[in-house]
Amino acid sequence: MATPQKIVLVTAAGLKKLEEELEHLKTAGRKEVANQLSEAISYGDLSENAEYDEAKNRQAQIEVRIMELEEQLKYVEIISEEKIEKGVIQIGSTVVIRRAGEKQEHEYSIVGSTEANPIMHKISNESPVGEALLGKKVKEKVVVAAPGGNFTYEVLKVK
């Protein structure tokens, strides 16, 4: 019995990025690896051909990523701006929080797991912080259970 696939939540920009990555892999990515394979084959003996092995591994990685993206796109649900309730943290919200006892504020966008990029201040709704923030409002305190212990944050702004 197959496990039901969970819905992949993305913003419109995130959907475009997934579609662009898929298109790039299907066209340029496949073409590039085919050229690498052709070149490696031209070197002769494939049994001890590191370039050939590397190109085959790259080809497998591309095909796996293409399958992952196609599967995600089957279950994509776009986070609609109209569905965002004002003042309540939801996927698609941008929040400003401060850890208890600190002065530094942190701004994050809550996104679906496929768009998460902590370096760009985009955290997943499935991350400990993202999950704890969902449904909260300004001035509420949030306790985040993380591998390093429990941390308390205060919600300062919701955009």
Amino acid 85: pLDDT:
67
Look up the CATH number of domain 8-78: 1.10.287.180
Cα-flanking dihedrals φ and ψ of residue 5, to 5°?
-75, 135
Q: Is the CB of residue 62 less than 8 Å from the CB of residue 133?
A: no
**What are the structural domain ranges in the chain?**
8-78, 82-158
Give the closest residue to 110 by CA, choosing from 134, 86, 88: 134
What is the average pLDDT across 20-38? 94
Burial pattern 75-86, b for ≥16 Cβ within 10 A else e, equals ebebbeeeebee
Amino acid 154: pLDDT:
94
Residue 4 has pLDDT above 60, yes or no: no
Amino acid 131: pLDDT:
92
Q: Is the CB of residue 124 less than 8 Å from the CB of residue 79?
A: no
Residue 5 has pLDDT above 50, yes or no: yes
What are the Cα distances from residue 27, in Å, to 24, 49, 76, 84?
A: 5, 26, 22, 36
DSSP letters, 117-145, are BGGGTEEETTSHHHHHHTT--TT-EEEEE
pTM of the model: 0.66
Residue 31 has pLDDT above 60, yes or no: yes
Residues 47-90 pLDDT 10s? 778 888 999 999 999 999 999 999 989 988 887 666 666 789 98
Domain with residues 82-158, CATH architecture: Roll (3.10)
DSSP H helical segments within the chain, as ranges? 12-24, 30-42, 50-74, 128-133
Encoding tokens for residue 132?
Answer: 């704890």
What is the average pLDDT across 30-41? 92
Residue 2 has pLDDT above 60, yes or no: no
Amino acid 20: pLDDT:
95
Amino acid 47: pLDDT:
77
Give the closest residue to 112 by CA, choosing from 123, 96, 101, 120: 123
Residue 1 has pLDDT above 50, yes or no: no
Residues 98-157 pLDDT 10s? 999 899 999 999 988 888 898 999 999 989 999 999 999 999 999 998 888 899 999 999
- Same fold: 8-78 with 82-158: no
Give the closest residue to 14 by CA, choosing from 85, 76, 97: 76
